[in-house]
Amino acid sequence: MTEEAGGRTGAVMAAIRQRLAAGRLAPGERLPSIRGFAATMGVSPSTVVEAYDRLAAEGLIRARPGSGFYVSGAVSPLALTEAEPRRERAIDPLWVSRQSLDAGPDMLKPGCGWLPAEWMPNTAIRRAVRGLAQAGEAVLTDYGATRGALSLRRHLVRRLAGEGIEAGADQLLLTASGTQAIDLIGRLLLRPGDTVIVDDPCYFNFQALLGVHAVRIVGVPYTPTGPDLQAFAAALAEHRPRLYVTNSALHNPTGATLAPQIAHRLLTLAAAHDLTIVEDDIFADLEPEPSPRLAALDGLARVIRIGSFSKTLSASIRCGYIAARPDWIEALVDLQVATSFGGPSPVAAELIAGTLADGSYRKHLEALRRRLSRARREATARLEPLGIKPWIVPRGGFTLWCRLPEEQDAAVLARAGLAEGLVLAPGNVFSVSQTASGLMRFNVAQMTDPQVYEGLTRAMARTQPAAAPPSTPSP
């Protein structure tokens, strides 16, 4: 984007840079006059103006109105090299996030929680971006409405209607991200010291986020068909939680699917204990067939639906949403204005709406599901010789929650993996009870490169206890 100017303008810029580097132009000194330098360089005065303007935009030189351009006095050659070292800090819920987000292009990321860029609907996004370049001035520069772009809210109303949820315009709020949606809900409904139930295991950032709210986090074991209801009921009775935060559709990290009976009984329990449920629908579009939704059964009475477009459309065009009771939305609007002065970038919401309206998005999803299905089979087959076995085979999505060979500790392996250029997601970052040290979450879409398995093999060999050398023949 911020590309260097080419051609003649670039040549003039390069000539000035050279003089600066050689000390022939000192800080505070006046630059050659535009006419004079145009003659020197054999270009038109307007080319020199363009070059000076660009150098001024970079801060290297400064314009003094009516007096010409001067070398900036204070600019030091700040390299701004990316001085962020790989962190060796303890494996906490933020570890995988930061490792994944800040990983250089040389790292492989079988532990990260999103799809590779080339799996996303780039053609449709580019079309939407080109459309944005023609949009009205208000779209490009104004603050948006407090509830977010109408075009995208319309899409979400239709989508919810398709699930059987009749949400009105006053029940939808766009947010800067799915995470921020939960954060706002937390600010509305939680007070320090409250208790919140999460699944064990659950998406690790739920823990980091709830930690910011200074609440007590209680984990309830997650089974292949949903939360363990006996444990759930016990947690309700013992802790009187204010909130339960969970993934619908494909559960993170297990890839499990909520069974209809579990969903119904869960809502009955929630009603009996006046529990509010936040249902994060972020993986919905990766499902081959729709699975039960708490918000659909409940009708947005005590369930708050949130979601985003980061997993199937773009994580760079950030946008999330909340569907909830009108009075809660009204309060959330105030909270979002107070803390962010609005929701997502209005241009982001327009780009999302534009991409979704493109007829190709449905085909993108179909192709994506097929591709994921193949990748899942392939990863499962290639992990098998390493003794790494899926806990369940998910119906869709990209996560594979796997049991490691008995002698392996996932956290130790994740650290060894980092040295091999792999970002891994060790089980215990997902587990409130810290009972997942023998499990690891893999992302099958990030494992098409054979180097993932080679690195994993080396890391496992290094972390295996010396007592059981790999050379010992098995009986």
Contacts (CB under 8 A) with a copy of itself, residues 157-196: 157-159, 161-164, 166, 168-170, 176-180, 183, 187, 192
Q: Least separation, in Å, of the C-beta of 66 and a copy of itself?
A: 11
Q: Does 65 bind a copy of itself (CB under 8 A)?
A: yes
Instruction: Output the smallest distance, CB 314 to a copy of itself, in A.
Output: 4
Give residues 238-277 in contact with a copy of itself (rule: CB under 8 A).
Answer: none
Rounded distance between C-alpha atoms, residue 248 and residue 287, angstroms: 10
CB 338 within 8 A of CB 203: no
> Does residue 14 belong to the site contacting a copy of itself (CB under 8 A)?
no
Nearer to a copy of itself, 126 or 389 (CB): 126
- Nearer to a copy of itself among residue 181 and residue 266 (C-beta): 181
Q: Which is nearer to a copy of itself, 148 or 255 (CB)?
A: 148
CB-nearer residue toward a copy of itself: 152 or 424: 152
Footprint of a copy of itself on residues 81-100 (CB under 8 A)? Answer: 81-84, 94, 97-98, 100
Find where tokens 């089974």 sit: 223
User: Is 337 one of the binding residues for a copy of itself (CB under 8 A)?
Assistant: yes
**In this chain, which of 6, 7, 78, 450 binds a copy of itself, going by CB under 8 A?**
78
Stretch that binds a copy of itself, among 53-61, 223-231, 440-448, 449-457 (CB under 8 A): 53-61
Judged by CB under 8 A, the number of residues near a copy of itself is: 123
Is residue 76 part of the contact set for a copy of itself (CB under 8 A)?
Answer: yes
Asked whether position 50 contacts a copy of itself by CB under 8 A, the answer is: yes
Residue of the chain from 108, 110, 147, 286 that contacts a copy of itself (CB under 8 A): 147
Per the CB < 8 A criterion, the answer to whether 436 and 427 are in contact is: yes
For the CB of residue 43, give the shortest distance to a copy of itself in the complex, in Å.
15
Q: How far is the CB of 339 from a copy of itself (least distance, A)?
A: 4
Going by DSSP bridges, is the β-strand pair 226-227/303-308 parallel, antiparallel, or unpaired? unpaired
Least distance CB 375 / a copy of itself (angstroms)? 17
Whichever of 154 and 239 has its CB closer to a copy of itself, that residue is 154
Among 295, 350, 442, 463, binds a copy of itself (CB under 8 A): 350
Is 231 or 335 the residue whose CB approaches a copy of itself more closely?
335
Task: Say how far apart CA 399 and CA 390 lie, in whole Å.
Answer: 10
Judged by beta carbon, residue 223 or residue 373, the one nearer a copy of itself is 373
Q: Which two tokens stand for residue 144?
A: 């948006």
Closest CA to 72 of 5, 16, 3: 16
Cβ nearer to a copy of itself, comparing 247 with 463:
247
CA 308 to chain centre: 9
Please report whether residue 297 would count as binding a copy of itself according to CB under 8 A: no
Footprint of a copy of itself on residues 121-140 (CB under 8 A)?
A: 122, 125-126, 128-140
Q: Which is nearer to a copy of itself, 138 or 461 (CB)?
A: 138
Stretch that binds a copy of itself, among 16-24, 38-46, 120-128, 436-444 (CB under 8 A): 120-128
With binding defined as CB under 8 A, does residue 340 bind a copy of itself?
yes
Per CB under 8 A, does 7 bind a copy of itself? no
Candidates 37, 114, 232, 430; binder of a copy of itself (CB under 8 A) is: 114
Structure tokens at 9: 């303008």
Q: Please give, one letter per residue, the 3-state secondary structure of the chain.
A: CCCCCCHHHHHHHHHHHHHHHCCCCCCCCECCCHHHHHHHHCCCHHHHHHHHHHHHHHCCEEEECCCEEEECCCCCCCCCCCCCCCCCCCCCHHHHHHHHHHCCCCCECCCCCCCCHHHCCHHHHHHHHHHHCCCCHHHHHCCCCCCCCHHHHHHHHHHHHHCCCCCCHHHEEEECCHHHHHHHHHHHHCCCCCEEEEEECCCHHHHHHHHHCCCEEEEEEEECCEECHHHHHHHHHHHCCCEEEEECCCCCCCCCCCCHHHHHHHHHHHHHCCCEEEEECCCHHHCCCCCCCHHHHHCCCCEEEEEECCCCCCCCCCCEEEECCHHHHHHHHHHHHHHHCCCCCHHHHHHHHHHHHCCHHHHHHHHHHHHHHHHHHHHHHHHHHHCCEECCCCCCCCEEEEECCCCCCHHHHHHHHHHCCECCEEHHHCCCCCCCCCEEEEEHHHCCCCHHHHHHHHHHHHHCCCCCCCCCCCC
Q: Is 74 in the site for a copy of itself (CB under 8 A)?
A: yes
Rule CB under 8 A: choose which of 6, 22, 42, 80 binds a copy of itself: 80
Judged by CB under 8 A, which of 333, 422, 425, 444 binds a copy of itself?
333
Is residue 28 at the binding interface for a copy of itself, with CB under 8 A as the rule?
no
Residues 368-427 that bind a copy of itself (CB under 8 A): none
63 with 56: CB under 8 angstroms? yes
* 22 near a copy of itself (CB under 8 A): no
